[in-house]
C-alpha cells in the first residue's frame, strides 16, 4: 500500500518578525515568495492598483504603507524597485471596477500581477484573503502588510504608484482635490461631488458617487452597489 507523504506543517509565530513567513517557506523549498497587495480599494474615484513583489535583499523599515509618512513611502519605494527580485503593477480603471464589481476586480488584479512577475515562484502571500486561480500555492494572511515583508513591500509599491496617479488626476480635475484625498470619500470630496457631479475618474457603481449632485451620469450597475 502506498502512503501519501504529508510534510510536517510549519508554524509561523506572530512575533517571528516581518521576514518570518519568507524564512519558513524558504526552509520548505517554497521560494521565491511573492507578496501581493492593493491600494485604492475604498476610494470612490481613481483606479485600483495592485502590486506583486518578490524581495531580493532585506530592506529595513518595511511596514504597512498606511502607517508610513508619504516621504518614507517614497524612499522605501525607490529601494524596493531598485533591489527587488521582481515587481509588477496592475492598474484597474474605474470603468472596469464598475463593470466587474470591486471584489472581482481586486481578485483579477492580483492574478494579473502574479502572472506578470518576471521570475518563477514557489509561493504567494496575499493580504487579507485567499485568491483562487494562482499558478502556485498561496495563503491569504490577515494584516499581511504588517506581518510579511513581501506583502508590506507590495503595499508600498501599490500605494506610491496610485498616489502619483491621483496627483496627476488632480492636475486635470483640480475642482475635486484628488491630490489631497486621493479619491477617498472625505467631506471635501463629497462637497465637490455635490457641486460638480462626478467626472470620468469616478466609480459610478459606488454609493457616494451615485448620490452625487449636478451633472451626474449614472452607470447601469450604479444603483444599490453601496461599495464605498
- The annotation places the binding site for a divalent metal cation at 37-38, 127
Which residues carry a binding-site annotation?
37-38, 127
Distance CA 155, CA 12 (A): 21
User: Rounded to the nearest 5°, which phi and psi values hold at 8?
Assistant: -65, 130
- To which H or E segment does residue 50 belong? strand 48-54
- β-partners of residue 91 are 49
Report d(CA 154, CA 161) in Å as an integer. 11
CA torsion sign, 102 to 49 to 180 to 197?
negative
Nearest residue to 38 (alpha-carbon basis) of 206, 164, 154? 154
Q: Nearest Cα to 98, choosing from 219, 212, 182, 189? A: 219
Amino acid at each position: 500500500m502506498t502512503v501519501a507523504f504529508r510534510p510536517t506543517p510549519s508554524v509561523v509565530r506572530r512575533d517571528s518578525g516581518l521576514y518570518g513567513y519568507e524564512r519558513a517557506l524558504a526552509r520548505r523549498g517554497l521560494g521565491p515568495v511573492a507578496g501581493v497587495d492593493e491600494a485604492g480599494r475604498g476610494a470612490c474615484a481613481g483606479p485600483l492598483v495592485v502590486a506583486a513583489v518578490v524581495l531580493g535583499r532585506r530592506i529595513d523599515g518595511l511596514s504597512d504603507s498606511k502607517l508610513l509618512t508619504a516621504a518614507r513611502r517614497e524612499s522605501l519605494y525607490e529601494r524596493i524597485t531598485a533591489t527587488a527580485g521582481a515587481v509588477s503593477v496592475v492598474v484597474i480603471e474605474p470603468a472596469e471596477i464598475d463593470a466587474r464589481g470591486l471584489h472581482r476586480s481586486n481578485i483579477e488584479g492580483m492574478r494579473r500581477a502574479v502572472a506578470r512577475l518576471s521570475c518563477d515562484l514557489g509561493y504567494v502571500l496575499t493580504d487579507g484573503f485567499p485568491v483562487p486561480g494562482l499558478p502556485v500555492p498561496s495563503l491569504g494572511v490577515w494584516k499581511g502588510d504588517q506581518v510579511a515583508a513581501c506583502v508590506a513591500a507590495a503595499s508600498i509599491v501599490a500605494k506610491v504608484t496610485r498616489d502619483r496617479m491621483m496627483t496627476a488626476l488632480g492636475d486635470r480635475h483640480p475642482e475635486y482635490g484628488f491630490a489631497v484625498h486621493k479619491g477617498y470619500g472625505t467631506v471635501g470630496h463629497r462637497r465637490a461631488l455635490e457641486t460638480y457631479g462626478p467626472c470620468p475618474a469616478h466609480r459610478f457603481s459606488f454609493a457616494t458617487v451615485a448620490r452625487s449632485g449636478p451633472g451626474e451620469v449614472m452607470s447601469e450597475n450604479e444603483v444599490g452597489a453601496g461599495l464605498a
